[in-house]
Structure 1
Amino acid sequence: MTPMHLRNAPRWQTPLLLLLMAWALLAGLGMREPMPADEPRFVLAARTMVETGQWLFPHRGIELYAEKPPVFMWLQAASYLLVRDWQVAFLLPSLLAALLTLWLSGDLARRLWGRHAVPYAVFGLFVCLQFALQAKRAQIDMVLVGMTTLSLWALLRYLLEKPSPWLLALGTFAAGLGTVTKGVGFLPLLVFIPWLWVRLKSRQALPPHRGLHALAGLAGFIAGAGVWLVPMLSVALTSADPALHAYAREMLFKQTGTRYANAWHHVKPAWYYLQTMLTLWLPGVLLAPWLLPAWWRRVKRVDARHALLLGWALLVLVFFSASPGKREVYIFPMLPALAVAAAPLLPGLLRRRAVRATLWAYMAVLVVVAGALGAWLLAAPPERLQSLVEGRGMDMDTVAQLGRWLVGFAMVAAVAMFAIARASRHRVGVALVTVTAALWTAYGMGFMPALSPDSSAQALMQRVGQRIGPDAELAMLGWREQHLLQADRPVTDFGFKQPWVDQWQHAHAWLLEAPERRWLFLRKEAIGPCLDPAKVVDIGASNRRAWILAPGDAWREGCDVPADWSADVSED
């Protein structure tokens, strides 16, 4: 969103807000380590690609990582080769995808509604919490949204602006590339369903040269998906390695159709995405009582622009709601389309007193909650904070740092709101962009760097290195990706998904080769029956788990792990 009465606003206003937005997205780049969930896993695979030169089949330790295609990891590895700094490189793909998504949303709004709609689409997308949250995380979803938005941009131009086969090919290429980035990248192709509905309602004939255009679209999708599928399948199918065959089956079947139709985790009820919209889509979702009737009127009169944008978003929502497995990021690709669909309506809505009051109230609640939470963190006695820090490896200095940043954000946001409201209460859009920029600046430069040493396991692995000394060898059992990533030396692992008994047997043989200089790092709950508890070392807590070190001489002489033994621990 942007200020009321754009034509009467100072010329510097929109450029200044754009600078604030760009600053907020950049803030904190290079100031933290990869943190769960997902980030350490992808960075570990990308780092292995750079170190080994094996880019086609990503690895997690000694095992193939067959849960996601490698395209996102390619982008991280390529970013590292460009900047030579993992702290910067691992976040660059998400940042660049966010900037691309903002530009595409603004350009699409310009083509559909005119230049006046551009800042409303761009700022309307930026102020929704989920957008910047994903832009500042090293997960696949921001890059996926960049690709789906590019695909939708090209396909909508093809369907509404000019039927160029090159636009169609670009749209399907982006969808194909998105599919091998994360399996649902094909979703922009669903836009043809509401397009057919518009054609039927308006009694328009299908365009000529359908065969040539269909061929261009098919070629574009195959080229996009083939970026990874063709070399992967050519190597896997011609190899005698059963691990590569298993990898191909896992990626092509289990992680696509089976994951969608018969999800084995993240199982949620059908209404789950309603709570996602009511929280992560703030403050945009607060305008739903005004936007939904206005959208409905435009769809009823067969406005092709709104019918395609909203019809596609509805199909995406239905698609993900039908699967038992649900995560809040799954419906993220809808958000740019909805921001573009809202753009022509926002100038009128922001003239309404009720809309302005709702948005001012949202900002006031955000400031009050942040300030109160920060003050509590600074003033509460340590025993009251014990449940917050317990198991996370955090100390009171970290808690105090979080409290100071929360109070600082609340003060800056409150001053900005007061100054803007005093100038004109109608400039709620300016205040909203400013407060949002302050929030994500504090998040990037304060909250995440404060949490990074503990959440990323950096502090834990530093203690491990200091305890065992520079000349010791380290192996891990029951590890998480952040531990392997943050280790200060080459580490031996015995697999990530291997049965516990197999890992323990390999660990036993490894320790016995040089017990005087070898150490085993593992979860405290997973201590095996052959380790002497009196000789293990408690090394601390991280990620809500306790961790120990076992020296080589902690193995009880003559003890073998029973073949049916398994650690009674829960997964992270």
Structure 2
Amino acid sequence: MLKTRASRETWLLIVMALLVLGAGLGLRDPWPSDEPRFALVARHMVESGQWLFPHRGLELYSDKPPMLMWWQATLYELIGNWRVAFLLPSLLAALGTLACVHDLGRRLWTRRVGLYAAWSLLFALHFTFQAKKAQIDPLIVFFITLANYGLLRHLLLGPAWRWWWLGWFAAGLGVITKGVGVVALLMLLPAALASWWGWPRVTLHVRCWRFWLGPLMFLLAIALWLLPMVVTALSTGSAEYRAYMDDILFRQTAKRYSQSWDHHQPWWYFLGTMPSMWIPAFLAVPWAIPAWWRRLRRRDPRYLLLLGWWALIVLFFSIPDGKRDVYILPSLPMFCLALAPLLPGLLRKRSFQWTLAVFTALVAMLTLGAGIAVLTGQPGFESKLMGSRGIDSTVTASLAWAAIAMGCWGVVSLAAWGRRRAHVAVLSTLTVVWVLYSLVGYPLLNDSSSARGLMHNAGLRIGADAELGLVAWKEQNLLMADRPAVTFGFQKKWDVQLREGVDWQARSPENRWLLVQEDALLACVDRRRIELAGIANRRRWWLVRADAVIGPCEPTAEERAREHAMQARQVDE
């Protein structure tokens, strides 16, 4: 009976993870900010056969290593569907992260603790939100969590040298995924302290030769990408490849950390990020802190390693000026693992149950309020949504009814479980929120958010035989174009792109059109002769014929300043 119950509980977790994280797979195209960029790079890999040096249009893309794009391109080669392939790496990575947390909790404590850890992570808003996006972060979270898994299997349950080597290798894979995979190795600092203080159950064995194979495995994983890239860049003599190598190895790593040029935030930024984005799990922290302290005083190394590593990650990313919420996302799985042994006791506390009930009520009120506000047109939610996204009232009404359904389900969940099992009400409410958001929201918002609708309308207007050039374009424009579109660089100044676009158009004026972002239009373009192609991603896009260009496209000082400000603001969108 115990085995049957354990099996049912495990399968329930698996089914719920697939439902929450997998809902909507195949129902949408890539959405900004990063998804179209990575999908565009992956598609270029498939079409060109050039996998070592990724391209964004005509230019090399050196902001991130190509690991995620490799996954997307490989999965497309296997299944032949971009709508599935671009999101599948995130889904697989999230499921792998949950598996690591579940198994580690089971081994360090009990089977039930492993389940609590996985449930806490699955429904943490930050984790679920990122796991349903095709960005690098779910993949880096998986590799760092896998590294932690291997290291902890050796440090706390060892000696286990194969897991020790795997932990170092996974950290190396994290480095060639986003560069910050090395933070997994900070786990060695609290482990070294525990060993120095003589705490029980900690295994290091620094004097054993097998210990030093770990760093070699770390370097081996990095060399899988770094070595062929550097050799190719240096041997070909290509200035473009050399610039790519210098940018990705130096500017995008060490310089980005020491001299951040974007996303400036105060030192305490993450102290606000965790309470707001790691809920509902983070709601337990006021009760967990004294419990953690008692266990640390009892010299339990499991808590020292997990909590110490979490604190080191927060400290590491708090030092530079540039901060984003996703930077500390890799520490969330270990936070949930450290919290899980306390949850059975916390869930018996009436105060904690009341806290969860209040959270569920807030989710229900917010979704209900948003839905009703859109339906009634107050306070202008519907008009703002239609104006910025370019969607019609039918779409906004459908979204509103979906939000009302979420809120009503939250109310029903509270009525059913709110008094003594508010945690079940939380999980029930969030499940419906994520599933409805995916199954209803994805199809309704896709045309606007992915620019598919915009590019379809532009293609219909110019005709099947016309050529299309893109000025001040975003990756989703090129990705969703219904024909091979011409670009004039991505990082070039917009006025330069416009001049080159006008010159290209002038060579065949009867058959060539330009699609131009509104903020890039200069005085050389007669606004009376251009056509609105549509609105997508809060931007207006215009179709420009050759006869709409009435003079040289040289920006005034005011236009240049405005263009520079707009281009800088959009650089990371």
User: TM-score under structure 1 normalisation?
Assistant: 0.94
Write the mapping of 1:359-398 to structure 2, written as runs, cut at 5 A: 359-380=356-377, 385-398=382-395
Instruction: Go from structure 1 to structure 2 and tell me whether the alpha carbon gap of 1:72 and 1:453 turns closer, same or farther (over 3 Å shift).
Output: same
Q: Give, in angstroms, the shift of residue 368 of structure 1.
A: 1.6
What is aligned with 1:551?
545
Which of 19, 25, 31 in structure 1 is aligned with 2:27?
Answer: 31
Which whole-Å CA distance do the structure 2 matches of 1:378 and 1:31 have between them?
A: 25
Q: Which residue of 1 aligns with 2:107?
A: 111
Listed one character per residue, the Cα deviations across residues 377-422 of structure 1 (whole Å, up to 9, x for unaligned) are 122269663233323212212211210111112223332332334x
Q: Give 1:67's aligned residue.
A: 63
Residues of 2 paired with 1:112 and 1:277: CA distance? Answer: 25
CA distance in 2, matches of 1:17, 1:206: 32
Q: What is the aligned partner in structure 2 of residue 293 from structure 1?
A: 290
What SS does the corresponding residue of 1:410 show, helix, strand or coil?
helix
Structure-2 change in CA distance of 1:130 and 1:318 (3 Å): same
Given candidates 42, 48, 51, the residue that maps to 2:44 is: 48
**CA–CA distance in 2 between the matches of 1:215 and 1:156?**
16
Unaligned runs of 5+ in 1: 1-5
Q: 2:132 aligns with which of 123, 136, 155?
A: 136
Contact 2:158 2:203 in 1 (8 A): no
**In the alignment, is residue 196 of structure 1 matched against residue 230 of structure 2?**
no
Query: Equivalences for 1:175-194 in 2 at 5 Å?
Result: 175-194=171-190
Question: Which amino acid is the alignment partner of residue 310 of structure 1?
Answer: L
Other-structure match for 1:220: 217
Contact 1:31/1:449, CA 8 A, preserved across alignment: yes
- Quick one: which amino acid aligns to residue 355 of structure 1? F
Distance, in Å, in 1 between the alignment partners of 2:441 and 2:84 is: 17
Other-structure match for 2:436: 442
CA distance in 2, matches of 1:152, 1:519: 53
- The alpha carbon displacement at 1:29 in A equals 0.6
Task: Note if 1:504 corresponds to 2:498.
Answer: yes
How far apart are residue 209 of structure 1 and its match? 6.1
Matched, 1:401 2:395: no
Identify which of 470, 480, 501 aligns with 2:474.
Answer: 480
Equivalent residues of 1:59, 1:65 under 8 A apart: yes
**CA–CA distance in structure 2, aligned partners of residues 246 and 35 of structure 1:** 29
Shift of the 278–208 alpha-carbon distance from structure 1 to 2, 3 Å rule, reads: closer
Match of 2:335 in 1: 338
- How far the C-alpha of 1:14 sits from its partner, in A, is 5.8
Paired residue for 1:241? 238
1:367 touches 1:413 (CA, 8 Å); kept in 2?
A: yes
Are 1:309 and 2:306 an aligned pair?
A: yes
Please give the secondary structure, in 2, of the residue aligned with 1:470: coil
Shift in alpha-carbon separation, 1:533–1:288, aligned structure 2, 3 A: same
Q: CA deviation at 1:513?
A: 1.4
Alpha-carbon displacement from aligned partner over 1:539-568 (angstroms, at most 9, x marks no partner): 2222222211111232336x3647988472
Classify 1:342/1:378 alpha carbon distance in 2 versus 1 (closer, same or farther; 3 Å). Answer: same
Deviation, 1:499, is 2.9
Identify the match of residue 147 of structure 2 among 151, 175, 181: 151
State the alpha-carbon separation in 2 of the partners of residues 98 and 213 from structure 1. Answer: 31
C-alpha change, 1:63 and 1:41, in structure 2 (3 Å) is same
Distance 1:14 1:182 in 2: 32
- Aligned residue identity for 2:528: A
Pairwise CA distance, 1:148: 0.4
Partner of 1:273: 270
2:167 to 148, 165, 171: 171
Q: Which runs of 4+ in 1 moved over 4 A?
A: 6-14, 203-209, 381-384, 562-565
- Residue 514 of structure 2 is aligned to residue 517 of structure 1: no
1:253 pairs, out of 250, 268, 275, with 250
SS at match of 2:51: coil
The superposition leaves residues 431-482 of structure 1 with CA deviations (integer Å, 9 ceiling, x where unpaired) of 3322221121112112233222111111111111111111100011100111
SS in 1 for 2:443: helix
Q: Evaluate the alpha carbon distance shift between residue 186 and residue 207 of structure 1 in structure 2; reply closer, same or farther with a 3 A threshold.
A: closer
Q: Which deviations, in whole Å up to 9, do the C-alpha atoms of 1:471-505 show, x marking residues without a partner?
A: 10001110011111111100000100113343233
Residues 166 and 12 (structure 1 numbering): CA distance in 2 closer, same or farther, change over 3 Å? closer
Distance in structure 2 (CA, Å) of the matches to 1:8 and 1:294? 32
CA contact (8 A) 1:68 1:251 kept: yes
Partner of 2:527, secondary structure, is coil
Deviation at 1:203, TM superposition (A): 6.7
Higher relative contact order (CA 8 A, sep 6+): 1
Q: How far is 1:17 from its partner?
A: 5.0
Q: Are the aligned partners of 1:91 and 1:137 in contact in 2 as well (CA < 8 Å)?
A: yes
Query: Does residue 357 of the first structure (1) align with residue 351 of the second (2)?
Result: no
1:427 to partner: Cα distance? 2.9
Aligned residue number for residue 535 of structure 1: 529
**Alpha-carbon spacing, 1:288–1:207, altered in 2? closer, same or farther (3 Å):** closer
Q: Does the residue aligned with 2:534 lie in a helix, a strand or coil?
A: strand
2:174, 2:182 within 8 Å by CA — same for their partners in 1?
yes
Kindly tell me: are residues 517 and 337 of structure 1, through their superposed partners in 2, closer, same or farther at Cα, counting changes over 3 Å?
A: same
> Aligned partners of 1:385 and 1:213: how far apart in 2?
63
Seen in structure 2, the aligned counterparts of structure 1 residues 35 and 566 have a Cα distance that, compared at 3 Å, is same
1:289 & 1:562 partners in 2: Cα distance? 57
| Stretch deviating more after TM superposition (534-543 or 267-276) | 534-543
Instruction: Pick closer, same or farther for the CA change 1:157–1:551 going to 2, 3 Å.
Output: same
Please say if residues 500 and 567 of structure 1, whose CA atoms lie closer than 8 Å, have aligned partners that are also in contact.
no
Asked if 2 retains the 8 angstrom alpha-carbon contact of 1:500 and 1:566, the reply is no
CA contact (8 A) 1:166 1:216 kept: no
Q: 8 Å contact 2:495–2:520 — kept in the other structure?
A: no
Secondary structure of the equivalent of 1:46? Answer: helix
Q: Secondary structure at the match of 1:333?
A: helix
Report the count of equivalent residues: 563
CA contact (8 A) 1:474 1:520 kept: yes
The equivalent of 1:3 in structure 2 is none
Cα RMSD over matched residues? 2.2
Residue 297 of structure 1: CA displacement? Answer: 1.9
- With 386-395 and 336-345 compared, the bigger mean Cα shift is at 386-395
Task: Sort the Cα spacing of 1:553 and 1:210 in 2 relative to 1 into closer, same or farther, 3 A.
Answer: farther
CA contact (8 A) 2:156 2:203 kept: no
How much has 1:533 moved relative to structure 2? 2.8
Moved more, 181-190 or 7-16: 7-16
Q: State the secondary structure of the residue aligned to 2:529.
A: coil
Q: Which amino acid aligns with 2:222?
A: A
Take 1:434 and 1:176, find their aligned partners in 2: how far apart are those partners? Answer: 38
